[in-house]
Structure 1
């Protein structure tokens, strides 16, 4: 019986016996090559796309420059708020991080556009902005020195391309509040993820790290009354009063998207043959965040006793009068940094599991390959 391989975990697919068994490749070894497609020593570079869960300072640059994107070769600083998972991975492994994520991004502005007056337009999207930016920068030359921005020759085989997006696509001012483009449904969002992979694959990418959606119904912004959900926040100042209804709809959306992805992955890779020769690790962000939420004492610092629903950085619904809980003395004791974003400690936990995923041994990753 074929299965999606993940160390310490097997997801059986009895109905797919004949279709997938001949071409399934486990993380440890691929029959066609006799070697593992996932090993940290294979990689030199981590190239990331996504939203505020991955962005370090790209959106802030645009805000500071009247909506203009960074010039080719501009080295952007880390975030001053917290170190995110991608930076931890790069620091701990020595991988060269090229980060194209933009806070507020959605997969496509042709599905869920969201206006942001501070940059005089919509939040940049992954499909229409981030990926084209990567392609131009990869093939371009530094705006000052004229030298190649990427160390030549650029080798996609030694790069991992990650995509973590969905928080804004499924949130308020998007699918959660029925604000998407008329006629667009969740299937269009999941299809967009594969459209992103199409563009990257066409540019030479072969190793992909695709994250599913996290359990956003647990985030203070979307949680129900029982889980200490917030009423109005700076990210949703006109939030309706029925928090339970908000949480239920968010739960329905995220679980639906994750189920679509679970079945769409083997279809696209192994049946439709959409990415010949590609290796894709599907990272179960939902399960990891749920595990932290269920047992915060196992993952968070014990310096201060906090609940999984607590967050450290509080602002009023207008975005002003901000203050840190406990004067920012115990940041690693919180699961959430603010109403919507994971804490620095949680980013650290994500990074540890991502490193294991790159090594082919994370229990939160399912590995798919289509060997040519």
Structure 2
């Protein structure tokens, strides 16, 4: 054990990035939940729970959970990269761990297991007319980046924070799921991976402390306050513990998988510390948002029944669109730093 730890420390010491990480960035393939999805859940809802067919690119939309353009679409706009967005709002990593039902899709929210399957179907798709793949026209090992940002729903209400997991599963099972999904991406030819760590959810209105923006009732947790077993401050600190626990595991496990276990030979992975970036947005909002800034109250305030009132100020003044989702302006900050990551010069990324 001691020898393995020494090897890990020594190997980690070589993780120094100089120059572009991806020299020819042409494609971004994104997996995740509502923090990333721009139109896939909307397709499911509009088609009675049916998924987009293989070979069909989901369209751009600014009608998203964050109230505007998503971070991954901003990345595509800033770089000219093609975006393939498989994220589904409401997703968890695996519905066998966390199972959350949405009536409008006639079942559970599609999970990352589904997302990976949809990606695999798309890369093997052959157009009947052209006899070729008309969706992925220029996907190479050296020009395509695969991002994974999942955990907000896994850790949240009706999931781990409310002790609602299935089959006696624990947070380590959710973490295992993420690396298992990178296995599938690697098998499909992926070689540039970005693992985005969990957001500081304890700073969001949904999980914040009372007096600092934390809400006692939310459309995402209608019965939060009436249940006497839930102490609002305890919820916030429990969420802080969960996100920091997960991120610590990412920080230590990723170099182990990449450098010691050599789980993905020939591949490169960057851990994007979105947690620290969003914490900086919270603590230094004038650097990211339009003045006057607001990092505690949401722009779109909704009651338990989903009746919402929007601020008289525009969305660019706010860190949070609603109780849980970062605003478009916050997504722009995430995107700018993602571009820095791809260019190899992000202070919020660790490269392996």
Task: Say whether the fold is shared (TM-score over 0.5).
Answer: yes
SS at match of 1:156: coil
Please say if 1:352 is aligned against 2:336: yes
For 1:230 and 1:172, how far apart are their aligned partners in 2? 14
| Deviation sequence 1:108-142 (CA, Å, 0-9, x none) | 1111111111111111111x200010011111034
Per-residue deviation at 1:194? Answer: 0.3
Give the alignment partner of residue 138 of structure 1, picking from 98, 116, 123. 123
1:1-372 to 2 correspondence within 5 Å? 16-21=5-10, 25-28=14-17, 38-39=21-22, 41-77=23-59, 78-80=61-63, 81-126=67-112, 128-142=113-127, 147-152=132-137, 154-240=139-225, 242-302=231-291, 305-319=292-306, 321-326=307-312, 329-368=313-352
Which segment drifts farther, 270-279 or 60-69?
Answer: 270-279
| Deviation sequence 1:38-65 (CA, Å, 0-9, x none) | 03x3221000000000000100110111
| Deviation sequence 1:221-272 (CA, Å, 0-9, x none) | 0101131211111111011352111101111111111111111111111121
SS at match of 2:123: helix
State whether residues 215 and 290 of structure 1, in contact with CA within 8 Å, keep that contact through their aligned partners in structure 2: yes
Aligned Cα root-mean-square deviation (Å): 2.0
For 1:351 and 1:153, how far apart are their aligned partners in 2? 23
Count of residue correspondences? 342
Unpaired segments ≥5 residues, structure 1: 1-13, 30-35
Change (3 A) 1:121 1:363: same
| Deviation sequence 1:269-327 (CA, Å, 0-9, x none) | 1121111111001000110010110111221101xx243102111222111x322110x
Unpaired segments ≥5 residues, structure 2: none
State whether residues 204 and 213 of structure 2, in contact with CA within 8 Å, keep that contact through their aligned partners in structure 1: no
State TM-score, norm by structure 1: 0.87
Change (3 A) 1:20 1:114: same
State whether residues 72 and 142 of structure 1, in contact with CA within 8 Å, keep that contact through their aligned partners in structure 2: no
For 1:364 and 1:105, how far apart are their aligned partners in 2? 25
Per-residue deviation at 1:344? Answer: 0.6
Change (3 A) 1:63 1:75: same
SS at match of 1:169: helix
SS at match of 1:339: coil
